[in-house]
Structure 1
Amino acid sequence: MNASAAARHPYLSPDAPRVLAHRGLVTPDAAALGVAENSFAAVAEAHAAGVAYVESDCHLTADGAVVLFHDDDLRRVADDPRAIADVRVHELEEIMSERGGLITLAQALDAFPDVRFNLDVKAAAAAESVGRLVAPHAERVLVTSFSDARRREALAAARSAGAVRRPATSPGIDTAKRLVAARALRRTTRVRALLADLDALQLPERRGPIRVVTRGLVRDAHAAGVEVHVWTVNAEDDMERLLDLGVDGLVTDRADVALAVVNRRGTTAV
């Protein structure tokens, strides 16, 4: 990456290709045992594999706890129609007890002090609580959301809760769309302005027929000191191709495979 070490947010140090374990790591063997994504076991497996970055999602329970959970309900994970917002922590603990164990955001930050967390604020109600919880850990947390308003609310809450510096951040959908449009129109000043308050662009390689991640986008991001992380990349060939393109991070369900790819290339994943 072109940005100087001094300019980068501490979340992004040291400078090397990054493997971000998408919702933790659930290997085929673990899945066969019933381990679910975003569970304590999935985070622990990613950590044990040597992954420094774990991507996860944040929802708020009925009793106000921030939990690592992707969906807004329990249908897919537990065949239970209830919304996360309507369930209390002790109920979720019971449900997840045979699925790798529930993990709250507070537990994740405490139990894995050397892991950097990439947190997607899924529920609007969770934004303020996420910000308060990550405030003491801002140097090892990136906050993002599909909603820019939700992302900014969490960042502001971290500042209000005493964070020495804001957590790292990547854009929501609206900002990403504006960036892609500004690049297409060659509005260089607008591109720089959109990148100014970001630490990473976390994007899919494509959105329908539109190629989002290109060599030109990587070049523009790097010129502004911003990294490019691509989600969700699970095939080795795609990992190799994107690393050749110059991307800085791979968000993947197969962090074990991505680590092997990065290490095979003669670099050290972080």
Structure 2
Amino acid sequence: MSPEDHYFSPAGPRVLAHRGLALEAPENTLLAFAHALAHGVDYLETDVHASADGVAVVAHDPDLSRVLGRPERVGDLTAAELGSLDLGDGQHMPTLAEALDAFPDARFNIDLKAAAAIPSAVEMISSLRAERRVLLTSFSERRRRAALALLPAVATSASGPVFAGALLAATVRGGPAVRRLLRGIQAVQIPERALGLSTVTPARLRQYHAAGVEVHVWTINDVDAMHRLLDLGVDGIVTDRADLAVDAVRSRP
């Protein structure tokens, strides 16, 4: 069984907890991840930046202004300094290794937000032998390819430019072009609209699926929208409300 097969087994639909479940915990913290897993989630969606000393740390934003009201960039502080910051509820900014080690049965969907984070992230994933439970992605195709060159067996989803090309191909050129563009990719993780187009029409879903990729839609927090997308046949819901999404998936036939 390849790591890609393991990551997407068993069959969905899947709930991907966007930065954990941050209703009663700061986002992207060990507590937020624990809350998501306690609700029955298997997949934790998260992000990594690099600290000043090159350590991959779990953080969405490049700076601390939104989460702490501080002007520093994540890359201005060492991992130890970042780990000493109080994000609330006794939580700190974990390293990627801390998160992977704390939840050894969880599967992680990791958005590489900075090229500087790639060497450390790759080393952490390898040292913890977590390849089979990790998907690496990035909005940047250059970052995605750089990471996959070092960890070729992990699962991956399309970068922004690759999906844009696939969406246009699905609109204009048809299935063979879509399959060619998505070769070597296991998922597209997308908003409902991009480039002024609906991304998850029945016809486009058929083309993505024919290319052998799963379709995960973000960021869906409304239960009716979850059911509508599941009715269309999407394979995953990326959500801030993992509690609601798990119930929605379980309530279906």
Interval containing the TM-score (normalised by the shorter chain): over 0.9
Q: Which residue of 1 aligns with 2:158?
A: 171
- The answer to whether the aligner puts 1:228 opposite 2:215 as a matched pair is yes
What SS does the aligned partner of 1:54 have?
Answer: strand
Aligned pair partner of 2:187 in 200, 209, 228: 200
How far did 1:181 drift? 1.1
CA 216–125 in structure 1, closer or farther in 2 if over 3 Å, else same:
same
Q: Which residue of 2 aligns with 1:243?
A: 230
CA 186–23 in structure 1, closer or farther in 2 if over 3 Å, else same:
same
Q: Which residue of 1 aligns with 2:136?
A: 143
Aligned pair partner of 1:18 in 11, 14, 17: 14
Q: Which residue of 1 aligns with 2:113?
A: 122
What SS does the aligned partner of 2:60 have?
Answer: coil
Q: Which residue of 1 aligns with 2:173?
A: 186
Q: Is the 8 A contact 2:4 2:154 kept in 1?
A: no
Return the letter of the residue paired with 2:92: G
1:8-87 correspondence to structure 2 within 5 Å: 9-27=5-23, 30=24, 35-87=25-77
* TM-score, normalised relative to structure 1: 0.88
Per-residue deviation, residues 10-52 of structure 1 (Å, max 9, x unmatched): 110000210000000012xx1xxxx311011111111111110
**Partners of 2:182 and 2:29 in 1: CA distance:** 33
Return the letter of the residue paired with 2:201: T
What is the count of residue pairs matched by the alignment? 250
**Partners of 2:165 and 2:190 in 1: CA distance:** 13
Return the letter of the residue paired with 2:137: T
What SS does the aligned partner of 1:213 have?
Answer: coil
Q: Is the 8 A contact 2:175 2:207 kept in 1?
A: no
Q: Is the 8 A contact 2:140 2:161 kept in 1?
A: yes
* TM-score, normalised relative to structure 2: 0.94
Q: Is the 8 A contact 1:41 1:101 kept in 2?
A: no
**Partners of 1:76 and 1:231 in 2: CA distance:** 21
**Partners of 1:128 and 1:6 in 2: CA distance:** 23
Give the stretch that moved more between structures: 205-214 or 241-250.
205-214
**Partners of 2:86 and 2:137 in 1: CA distance:** 25
What SS does the aligned partner of 1:57 have?
Answer: strand
**Partners of 1:79 and 1:95 in 2: CA distance:** 12
Q: Is the 8 A contact 1:171 1:198 kept in 2?
A: yes
Q: Is the 8 A contact 1:8 1:225 kept in 2?
A: no
How far did 1:158 drift? 2.1
How far did 1:186 drift? 2.3
What SS does the aligned partner of 1:81 have?
Answer: coil
Q: Which residue of 1 aligns with 2:99?
A: 108
Q: Is the 8 A contact 2:175 2:211 kept in 1?
A: no
Aligned pair partner of 1:96 in 83, 86, 90: 86
Runs of 5+ unmatched residues, structure 1: 160-165
Return the letter of the residue paired with 1:177: A
Q: Is the 8 A contact 1:131 1:155 kept in 2?
A: no
Give the stretch that moved more between structures: 123-132 or 66-75.
123-132
How far did 1:97 drift? 5.2
- The CA RMSD over aligned residues, in Å, is 1.7
Q: Is the 8 A contact 2:3 2:133 kept in 1?
A: no
Per-residue deviation, residues 81-106 of structure 1 (Å, max 9, x unmatched): 00000111222222235353322110
Q: Is the 8 A contact 2:175 2:210 kept in 1?
A: no
**Partners of 1:21 and 1:174 in 2: CA distance:** 24
State, as a whole percentage, how many aligned pairs show the same letter.
48
What SS does the aligned partner of 1:117 have?
Answer: strand
**Partners of 2:251 and 2:28 in 1: CA distance:** 28
Runs of 5+ unmatched residues, structure 2: none
